Amino acid sequence: MLASLAVAFSMALSYIPFQDTGSHLQEDMVRMEQFGGGGSLEEQCGSITFENMFEYSGATFDIIFNDDWETAEVQAVAWVNDTLADELRETMDEFMELIDPNKGGDGWFSTDEREFFRALASECIEHTLTRIGLRDGPAHRGGVGIDWKNTSWEDDGVMIEEFNIVPPRHSQIRGCSSSIGADCEEVPVIPDPGRDCDTSIPQSSAVDECRVQLWLNATMTIPGVADPSNFTLAFNASNMSGARLDFTFPQDDGLRLDMWDECEGRDVGLNESTAGGLSPVRGGCIGDGSSSYELVTNDDGSLTLELSPNGWSEDWPEGEDLFFDFTNQPIPVDDPPQWTSSAPSDGAWFPSPHSGDSTWATWGSISTWFVDESGVSSLDIQCTADPSMGLSESDDRSLNAIIPSGDAQEVTCEAIDSAMQTSGSRTWHLGVPFTVSTDSQKLSDPHPVTLTPAGGWPELQVEVSLVQSGSSQSSGITALSEETTILAPSSDMIPGGVWVEVSVQGDGTYHMEGLYDLGITKESSPPLISISDSMWDGSQWSMQGQYSDPDGESVSFTMRVDGSAAGSVSVSGNSWSTPLIDFSLWESGEHTVEIEGCDTSNKCSVTSQVVNNSILFEVVEPDCEALTCGCDPSLCDDDAGGIGGLLPASGVVSVMLASVVAIMYGRRRD
């Protein structure tokens, strides 16, 4: 409750200043970034329920449908007792601190703050989820494309009143300065140990003096009923406890409840979707018994559905949908349950991937096998087989058995209704249809998977896939009547374990998907590294190249000179390059530069090149015989063509050396 109240209130604080206690909030689409965003007031409040805003000890809701079936008047009373009342005041005080640190967060709650929150709550509740859906026509259970929550609160039709949020006779009440020019009083959000919130009541009376009471009056709009002769009332009871809802319908002498379902699973509340999804089979839900109802015929002939959703709070968050199908059609004849076209035919085969304890039919499937006026969940599904199969039924009504490792065994099932009428029996075969093996645990592409059929099974259509971490590659469908080796593609697999999945279907055969661990592993291949170029820049040398990893894994690089780490390798796309290495700092001679690349599986490759830096340390002697003055500079003047006139500037020497080195030593070794 506190977190939901925080989201709705904190977002809405951007819409009105504290001084504005009017009933209308600004309509600007302002977002509250400090609480993670979430959109407008309508968007924020539209994802929560009344219970998300106020956690109550108990509540009653009277929903009275008007004769036109277009609106309903809603009157609610909620009681917030004991420490829940303390938490409510404390939460509101904390949020006032976000607006005005001088007002909130001080451990006191004032009448100014009360008026602000009362106006805000009324505005927010207009956009909250009603939890209620009403739709005429054939009975439904929601489903794809259907948002059964089709009712909403009428604009400006919600009023909230309260009692005792600021107890007027609190033993610790005191005056305060008002921001809205009204009389102001405040009380501590947490009362003293004596909890004396009403000095007029003796403490010996054991009355909860600090309790809070809330009233809601609202009008609910109903767009989904044009013909009320058949309609479904849907109610989401997620995370509700201590509530009582009375739905009173317009007078209709023939109106009756045809069927109801308590369906577990969907949690509709803060940030939860209310639309679509796969719908359960009508009459096929298995409830947990947390919700109950009574039907009351009123003096005027109208019908009231008294609903008590009462989930266990220790199990929250937990979802529950309730569906009530009403009609004014006559009660149908109680016919025997019938097999549906979705049910397995007599003599069908139920394959299991492994022998031993197994669920061979889930309730989701079983609920589609039968149809009955009272709903399939009311039927008694009875199955018999050889005692060695250990047939049993789970709490969720799935069927279990000990699947034999040898020949398939027979099981016979039927459905019986409350009048002991039977659907008639059907006999099926349960067993393991084949064994799965491979002749190599080292993955190849494609990889051979051998299926060896068990005796007695009909021809099956199988599809073999190699699966790994959510990805899979399929072989396509193959007919299986004898031992068959199927080549499954594996090009998308990455290093690591690989599993085999086999999907089975066939005429008279129930669909099966089995996962098999055959110990298959894809080994990693080392990355491929090549050198494309090397160059000198003065006394500095570098090289670069390309790389790839056959398995698509990332590759990290290390550089070594003569076996010692020396700098880092830069990577861009599928290219790598070394930094500039100043070989004038190394001894004259040959030096080996190695580049090692290792992938995620720690498979490594090394490439290297030998660099000879001797040229950097050689002195070029002049040809004395070619000089006019020989090699004695004292014999020549500056223009006589002696050695002084032959020596180039130092920068030219560097360029010459670099060119010579690049030509003489630009070779590589792998």
Q: Is the pLDDT reported for residue 392 higher than 50? A: yes
pLDDT at 540: 95
pLDDT at 417: 96
Q: Is the pLDDT reported for residue 370 higher than 80? A: yes
pLDDT at 278: 67
Q: Is the pLDDT reported for residue 509 higher than 60? A: yes
Task: State the CB neighbour count (10 A cutoff) for residue 475.
Answer: 18
Provide the whole-model pTM.
0.70
Which range of 271-285, 310-324, 349-363, 467-481 scores highest in mean pLDDT? It is 349-363
The two tokens of residue 577 are 């390059």
Burial code (b: 16+ CB inside 10 Å, e: under 16) for 590-625 equals: ebebebbbbbebebebebbbebebebbeeeeeeeee
Q: What number is the average pLDDT over the span 310-318? A: 66
For the chain, the average pLDDT equals 84
Q: What number is the average pLDDT over the span 82-102? A: 85
d(CA 556, CA 571): 9
Residue 260, classified by CB atoms within 10 Å of its CB into exposed (0-12), middle (13-18) or buried (19+), is buried
Q: Is 36 left (phi over 0), alpha (psi -120 to 50) or beta?
A: left
**Structure-model confidence comparison of residues 536 and 20, the more confident one:** 536
* Residue 145: pLDDT band with limits 50, 70, 90: low
pLDDT at 232: 94
Location of each CATH 2.60.40.10 domain in the chain:
528-616
* Residue 249: pLDDT band with limits 50, 70, 90: very high
Q: What number is the average pLDDT over the span 218-228? A: 92
Q: Is the pLDDT reported for residue 31 higher than 50? A: no
Task: Give CA torsion, residues 640, 644, 647, 648, to 10 deg.
Answer: -80
Q: Tokens 């819409």 map to which residue?
A: 15
Kindly report which listed range (240-244, 600-604, 622-626) carries the lowest average pLDDT score: 622-626
* Residue 558: pLDDT band with limits 50, 70, 90: very high
The two tokens of residue 152 are 């909403």
Q: Is the pLDDT reported for residue 18 higher than 60? A: no
Q: Which run of H or E residues covers position 364?
A: helix 363-366
**Structure-model confidence comparison of residues 240 and 401, the more confident one:** 401
Q: What number is the average pLDDT over the span 132-145? A: 84
Domain 434-522 has CATH 2.60.40.2950: yes
Q: Is the pLDDT reported for residue 3 higher than 60? A: no
Q: Is the pLDDT reported for residue 644 higher than 50? A: no
Distances (CA, A) of 568 to 199, 475, 565, 592: 79, 45, 9, 16
State whether the Cα torsion 105-107-113-118 is positive or negative.
Answer: positive
d(CA 629, CA 631): 6
Kindly report which listed range (88-102, 148-162, 262-276, 358-372) carries the lowest average pLDDT score: 262-276
Nearest to 465 by CA among 444, 488, 492: 488
Q: Is the pLDDT reported for residue 636 higher than 90? A: no
pLDDT at 43: 78
- Topology of the domain comprising 528-616: Immunoglobulin-like (2.60.40)
The two tokens of residue 353 are 């991937």
pLDDT at 567: 87
Q: Tokens 């109208």 map to which residue?
A: 302
Q: Is the pLDDT reported for residue 34 higher than 70? A: no
pLDDT at 206: 87
d(CA 669, CA 64): 91
User: For residue range 405-422, what is the model confidence (pLDDT) as tens digits?
Assistant: 989 999 999 999 999 999
Q: Which run of H or E residues covers position 94?
A: helix 82-99
User: For residue range 41-66, what is the model confidence (pLDDT) as tens digits?
Assistant: 787 788 788 888 888 999 999 999 99
Cα atoms found within 13 Å of the Cα of residue 484, Cβ hemisphere only: 19
Cis bond leading into 448, ω under 30°? Answer: no
Q: What percent of the chain has pLDDT over 90?
A: 61
Location of each CATH 2.60.40.2950 domain in the chain:
434-522
Q: Is the pLDDT reported for residue 17 higher than 50? A: no
Beta strands across the sheet bearing 484-488 = 434-437, 447-453, 484-488
